Amino acid sequence: MSTIRVTDEVKERLRDLKRDDESFNDLLDRLSRSEKDVEAIAESLSELGGDDFAERTKEAHEELNESLEQRTE
C-alpha cells in the first residue's frame, strides 16, 4: 500500500467524482484506465451486439471523457 499526496483542492474534486460505493482507490483505478482497455472491451462486446454497438460504445466513452474534463476544470 502506498500513500500519495494531493492538495485539498484536488481531494475535493476527487471526492466530487467518487461514487458513493467506491473508495478513493477504486476511483483512481476507474479514472486511470486507458482508452485501449475500453476499446478492447467494446470490440469484444461488439461481437455480441453487432457492428454499431462498438461505435455507440466509443461515442459514449468520448462523452464521458468530455464530461469528466468539464467537471475537473
Q: What pLDDT does residue 50 have?
A: 63
CA 51/CA 58 separation, integer angstroms: 12
Q: What pLDDT does residue 68 have?
A: 81
CA 56/CA 52 separation, integer angstroms: 6
User: What pTM, to 2 d.p., does this model score?
Assistant: 0.47
pLDDT lower than 70: segments of the chain: 34-36, 38, 42-51, 54, 73
Q: What pLDDT does residue 15 have?
A: 92
Q: Where are the domains of the chain?
A: 1-32, 34-73
Q: Long-range contacts for 18-27 (Cβ within 8 Å, ≥24 apart)?
A: none
Q: What pLDDT does residue 49 have?
A: 62
DSSP string, the chain: -------HHHHHHHHHHS-TT--HHHHHHHHH--HHHHHHHHHHHHHHH-HHHHHHHHHHHHHHHHHHHHHH-
